Amino acid sequence: MVYNYEHAASIQGVALRVAALGALGKPLSRYSDDELRKEFSTPTATVDELDQIRERSVYVTRSFIRCSFTPEFEEGDEITEKNAYGEVCVTFKSPDTLKRVNLELAVCEPDPIFTRLLGGGDLIFDCGPGSNPNDLVGYMSVEVGKEPNPNGVSVEVWSSAIVDGKRSGNNPYFHWVFPFASMRIGGDRVIENGLLANTFEGFGTGNKSWEKPTVGYLDGCGPTIEGYPPPPDTPALEMDPSAWPYTMEIRNRCYSYARVPNYPEIPDDKSGFVNPRNGIPYATAGYYGDAAYATAQTRVTDPLDLSVSTFQDPTTHKAVPTPDEQGYTSIVELRADKNYGDARLAGTTRYVPGQYVMMNGRKYHWDGTTWQQGAAPGLTSVTGGTPGSFSPAGQAPPADLTTLKADAVIGDAGTSKPGNAWTTGQYVVLGDKSQAHWDGNAWVVGKAS
């Protein structure tokens, strides 16, 4: 069998992502509500409280200096026997076997969030007069004699794939995965006329329970190993989001790497938490306390002020990216979302006919009350009155007489146009506030006479 492989060099670090793991071995961001309640012994925790845990557990940064790893092997036993004359008569050596990889991470600054994720400890917030209690100002080390991070983290690094002196045009990045890492603060930290060292040391092993920390973000189609191909002709976003690669066997390796088409989006200030639904950084990087939760979750605009144009270009019907685009697996999740669900969008304008937003490969529309599947429907019927009404209720009327006459359903040649001529005084009000009535053959201006 002939393999096709582009010989690229790995140069420069592009992004680093760290995800906190739970006792089950998988990222906390991928825990179910019940699993989180059990993990933290909080049987009465609300959904919002559980989401806060998930949303503080995945951190992405470009402010790192290096990520180095060294495979550590256990030397095989060596057996040697000599004969009576002193010559070697029997010799055998067992092969060396991989035990773990030794890891070192170095970052540019003493980032308290990154430090706490990897090395345990606690964060310090500003509690002074007039301060915001959610302003993060420092870090406290783990207590003496206490294990810094018993469940560990997963570490992912992206680097550039260089061919002929430039980034490759075909899968231009390497994606390196360490599915389990036990880390601690390491190195000499010297306050001097120079950079304070910010290094973390530890080791990595396999982790059969590991899953990709975020859902819906295109990390790449993902590698395969011989004998374990992905579904044929399957778009990357529709593949199993938990599989990197697609087999548990390869997840239980100390490290893996593969060529991929892109890397995670980096926050504007180079470090920050990311949305577990789609891997997109929140608008404000950093640690979010309870009081700042709603603000921290808002991206693009305040959901209370959302209009149709926030989701959808009304002319092209092309979806405008939203914080949770491609992140939902069911309409139930969309309706319940804290930022864009039914409760937060109550009272906002319904989509006009034909509008929709694409999420996770499906069309959804807002009907003014709740999210519905598919594109927004048009008018289905019209009833004469003083004034008359259009169905479904709440749907915007045709913009003007020309639009009404041309409507494919209730227009002059529509499939559900009125039958008999309307009686004296009957009419409907159009979008431009003009009046129209049905004369038995066509729509005409004004009230029926």
| CA atoms 48, 50, 54, 56: torsion sign | positive
11, 159 in Cβ contact below 8 A?
Answer: yes
Question: Phi and psi at residue 352, in whole multiples of 5°?
Answer: -80, 160
CA quadruple 168, 171, 173, 177: dihedral, nearest 10: -150
User: Residue 69: which of 148, 150, 177, 152 has the closest Cα?
Assistant: 177
* Amino acid code (one letter) for 208: K
Tell me the domain boundaries of the chain: 9-69+99-272, 299-373, 378-449
Question: 């950079």: which residue's tokens?
Answer: 195
> Could you tell me which residue, 252 or 278, shows the higher pLDDT?
252
Measured distance CA(58)–CA(212) in Å, rounded: 11
Percent share of the chain, pLDDT over 70: 72
* Reduced DSSP (H G I as helix, E B as strand, rest coil) percent helix, strand, coil of the chain, to 5: 15, 30, 55
Continuous H helices in 231-341: 248-251, 293-297, 308-311, 331-336
Residue 400 pLDDT > 60, yes or no? yes
71, 254 in Cβ contact below 8 A?
Answer: yes
Q: What local confidence, expressed as pLDDT, does residue 315 receive?
A: 41
361, 216 in Cβ contact below 8 A?
Answer: no
User: Could you read off the pLDDT of 73-115 as tens digits, one per residue?
Assistant: 999 999 999 999 999 999 999 999 999 999 999 998 888 888 8
CA quadruple 37, 43, 47, 51: dihedral, nearest 10: -30
218, 227 in Cβ contact below 8 A?
Answer: no
> What is the average pLDDT across 251-276?
76
User: Residue 148: which of 111, 201, 187 has the closest Cα?
Assistant: 201
User: Residue 176: which of 159, 191, 160 has the closest Cα?
Assistant: 159
Measured distance CA(378)–CA(389) in Å, rounded: 14
Percent share of the chain, pLDDT over 90: 27
SS (H, E, C) 26-76: CEHHHCCHHHHHHHCCCCCCCHHHHHHHHHCCEEEECCEEEEEEEEEEECC
Lowest mean pLDDT among 226-240, 244-258, 408-422: 226-240
Could you tell me the pLDDT band of residue 226, with boundaries at 50, 70 and 90?
very low
Residue 389 contacts by C-beta under 8 Å, 6 or more apart in sequence?
Answer: 382, 383, 428
Omega before 387 within 30 of 0, i.e. cis: yes
Q: Which helix (H) or strand (E) holds 176?
A: strand 173-186
User: Which DSSP category does 336 fall into?
Assistant: H
Q: What local confidence, expressed as pLDDT, does residue 284 receive?
A: 35
> Could you tell me which residue, 278 or 46, shows the higher pLDDT?
46
User: Could you read off the pLDDT of 410-431 as tens digits, one per residue?
Assistant: 999 988 899 899 999 999 999 8
Measured distance CA(384)–CA(397) in Å, rounded: 14
Q: What local confidence, expressed as pLDDT, does residue 224 receive?
A: 39
Beta bridge mates, 160? 11, 173
Residue 54 pLDDT > 50, yes or no? yes
Could you tell me the pLDDT band of residue 130, with boundaries at 50, 70 and 90?
low
| CA atoms 199, 124, 37, 277: torsion sign | negative
Residue 140 contacts by C-beta under 8 Å, 6 or more apart in sequence?
Answer: 121, 122, 123, 124
